[in-house]
Structure 1
Amino acid sequence: MDGDTLHSIGELARRTGLTVKTVRFYSDRGIVAPTDRSPAGHRRYDDDAVARLDLVRTLRELGLDLATIREVVDRDLPLPEVAAAHAAALAVQIRVLRLRHAVLTAVAERGLTPEETDPVHRLARLARLSAAERRDLVDAFLRAVFDGTGTDPAFAGVRRSMTPELPDDPEAEQARAWMELAELALDPDFRAAVRRTVEDLAADRSADRARTGTTGPRPDLAATVCDLAAPALAAGIHPASPQADPVVAALTAHYAHRCGHPDDTGLRRRLLHRLDRLHDPRRDRYFRLLAVVNRWPAPEGPAPALAWSAEALRVRTGHGAPRERR
């Protein structure tokens, strides 16, 4: 088809995939003006109109308004600048939609009823927090956990390992994880539980320094429990089995050495109390959520080893049934 061929509105509609009504609409607004008219007064369009309409349709599909489209097709506005501005606006919209999706997904997963408005409002508020407000929330949590526990440099690393950093443009999974993690960080009971764990760790390190004079990094109690109990767990040894005795002996010997206290019933009950405090499902959940928010590898939590070791000690101390956990 040569360049002098003119098309009716119907032909133009067929070539562009638009309706006749839509082509007429763009023509009436001067976005795609007719090249000529037939003797009967019908509008006729050249091949340039086909290309122009294709561009108009594409820009409309991308969400641009008609005024902007007209400036682009008339070359009054550079297309790259328009595209960049709209891409930035869409990025904001996408972030908002992801956060809304995260809230609605959390409401659905928790089975909240219309009467349970407080959790819904709380989730929505957490989703809307600015970056500065998120930092303030995290800082308040970390201060509640770490302030006043001494100047041990090891705690700087522990503190960093507990700090969530939600990106400005989070994926839906990150946004959902952030909201649940923020709820934990705001929970006074959880804060107090983590604070006790940090205080226990500080006491252990202080005792180490007093006994050995060393200040370097040393495995904490949870890491030691994992190292000692992991083989028994892998072998399927029951905590009450005599086969668990060597593991319990090694664990209590380690703790006795660390505390500078004989391995007796009192020390074992003290150790059991420590293990029960460490074995908090909320703590494991926090670190799993943290890994999602920060895009870290999923952690292998100490919960199984702590539960196994606590039960093995409980059987041997007659210290009653395990505590119920939230």
Structure 2
Amino acid sequence: MNGGTPYSIGELARRTGLTVKTVRYYSDRGLVTPVDRTPAGYRRYGPDAVARLALVRTLRELGIGLDVIRGVTARERTLGEVAAEHVAALDVQIDVLRLRRAVLGVVAAHGTTPEEMARMHRLATLTAVERRRLVDDFLHEVFDGLGDPARHAGPRRTLTPDLPDDPTEEQLAAWVELAGLALDPEFRADLRHLVHTHLAELPADAGAPPRPGTIGLARLVVGPALAAGTDPGSPGADPVVAEFTARCALLHDRPDDPALRGWLLDRLDGMRDPRKGRYFRLLALVNGWQPPRCTAPVIDWTVAALRVRTAG
């Protein structure tokens, strides 16, 4: 009221920041009720109308519907009940928006066809059971028939993506891209070959202490030379290559000869597929692991050094 005089619709509009049309609409919907009318029929409102309309305006800006607001202003429902319901609804909307952003982020970063984008969207919306089925099928094709399952239990775990129940946007985007790789038959075959060569380097005795494989030896022996800037084709690289091949000969129980160097060259060259490194980086993101060490520079140096020494 203004000095004891009830408010007109125009005065309410000025005090609340709403338009006259909006105040009249809310009044027609029963959200604010006039306490009197003038002889000419104009509505007049009491002192509580300003606070009531401020509440209505706030709830509308929070996305709450007028029917629900009417229940609050009529004291049929509490603000706490309404807020809890809308928090749950907003959580669902946020999840949907994060999912959409993850898919569009992958599309923007890599460029895809409409068909590929539709597939990404399907992968992003899989249920937990559907994701598990996809992963199990992928791992079965990679590991099936590669000897005693007990021997590849560890490697299998290191290749298993496990998207959390409440993933970050980054994890969602990583899952979409990783799942696309896992569905690629060519990638499955390449990864199976990589796993096969890795298993061949494991000790026959399951209780034996772990030992570095070919890549591990390359990191150990070649890593310092790479860090020192040694040219793989220079004479300074000769002792590095000699030590690497000698250790690989012991690992694979074969002579340290040109045939071994050619075999190592082919093997390491086959590991340079960037998709494998990408898979392991995506896997770390999905599972919340530390990023894997990048082996590409070590492999590239070793391949270049072996190629120079096997040429001709």
TM-score, reference length from structure 1 = 0.87
Query: For structure 1, which segment, 70-79 or 19-28, has the greater mean C-alpha deviation from structure 2 after superposition?
Result: 70-79
Q: How far does residue 153 in structure 1 lie from its aligned partner after superposition?
A: 4.8
Q: Is the 8 A contact 1:181 1:290 kept in 2?
A: yes
Which of 167, 188, 191 is the equivalent residue of 2:188?
191
Matches within 5 A, 1:9-20: 9-20=9-20
Matched length: 312
Q: Is the 8 A contact 2:7 2:44 kept in 1?
A: yes
Which of 302, 305, 320 is the equivalent residue of 2:298?
305
Matches within 5 A, 1:90-169: 90-112=90-112, 116-151=113-148, 153=150, 155-169=152-166
Which of 256, 261, 269 is the equivalent residue of 1:268?
261
Q: How far does residue 147 in structure 1 lie from its aligned partner after superposition?
A: 2.7
Matches within 5 A, 1:202-241: 202-205=199-202, 208-209=203-204, 215-241=208-234
Tell me the residue number matched to 1:6: 6
Counterpart secondary structure, 1:298: coil
User: Which whole-Å CA distance do the structure 2 matches of 1:196 and 1:308 have between them?
Assistant: 22
Q: Is the 8 A contact 1:181 1:286 kept in 2?
A: yes
Deviations 1:270-311 (A, max 9, x none): 222221222221111011112222333322221111111111
Q: Is the 8 A contact 1:233 1:308 kept in 2?
A: yes
Query: For structure 1, which segment, 262-271 or 146-155, has the greater mean C-alpha deviation from structure 2 after superposition?
Result: 146-155
Query: For structure 1, which segment, 232-241 or 171-180, has the greater mean C-alpha deviation from structure 2 after superposition?
Result: 171-180
Tell me the residue number matched to 1:324: none
Q: Indicate yes or no: 2:284 matched with 1:287.
A: no
Shift of the 271–3 alpha-carbon distance from structure 1 to 2, 3 Å rule, reads farther
Tell me the residue number matched to 1:323: none
Tell me the residue number matched to 2:176: 179
Shift of the 24–180 alpha-carbon distance from structure 1 to 2, 3 Å rule, reads same
Query: For structure 1, which segment, 219-228 or 66-75, has the greater mean C-alpha deviation from structure 2 after superposition?
Result: 219-228
Q: How far does residue 188 in structure 1 lie from its aligned partner after superposition?
A: 0.9
The residue type equivalent to 1:18 in the other structure is L
User: Which whole-Å CA distance do the structure 1 matches of 2:284 and 2:198 have between them?
Assistant: 22
User: Which whole-Å CA distance do the structure 2 matches of 1:62 and 1:151 have between them?
Assistant: 59
The residue type equivalent to 2:143 in the other structure is F
Q: Indicate yes or no: 2:88 matched with 1:88.
A: yes
Matches within 5 A, 1:23-42: 23-42=23-42
Q: Is the 8 A contact 2:258 2:310 kept in 1?
A: yes
The residue type equivalent to 2:267 in the other structure is R
The residue type equivalent to 1:275 in the other structure is L
Deviations 1:154-210 (A, max 9, x none): 6333322222222344333322221111111111111111111111111111xx336
Give 5+ residue unaligned stretches, structure 2: none
Q: How far does residue 28 in structure 1 lie from its aligned partner after superposition?
A: 0.5
Shift of the 174–47 alpha-carbon distance from structure 1 to 2, 3 Å rule, reads farther
Counterpart secondary structure, 1:209: coil
Deviations 1:50-102 (A, max 9, x none): 22212211221222211111112212122222222222222222222222223
Counterpart secondary structure, 1:77: coil
User: Which whole-Å CA distance do the structure 1 matches of 2:59 and 2:247 have between them?
Assistant: 70
TM-score, reference length from structure 2 = 0.91
Q: Is the 8 A contact 2:213 2:251 kept in 1?
A: no
Counterpart secondary structure, 2:175: helix
User: Which whole-Å CA distance do the structure 1 matches of 2:24 and 2:195 have between them?
Assistant: 72
User: Which whole-Å CA distance do the structure 2 matches of 1:177 and 1:78 have between them?
Assistant: 41
RMSD: 2.3
Q: Is the 8 A contact 1:103 1:176 kept in 2?
A: yes
Q: How far does residue 2 in structure 1 lie from its aligned partner after superposition?
A: 8.8
Deviations 1:96-117 (A, max 9, x none): 22222233333333344xxx43
Shift of the 49–194 alpha-carbon distance from structure 1 to 2, 3 Å rule, reads same
User: Which whole-Å CA distance do the structure 1 matches of 2:283 and 2:128 have between them?
Assistant: 16
The residue type equivalent to 2:156 in the other structure is R
Q: Is the 8 A contact 1:268 1:317 kept in 2?
A: yes
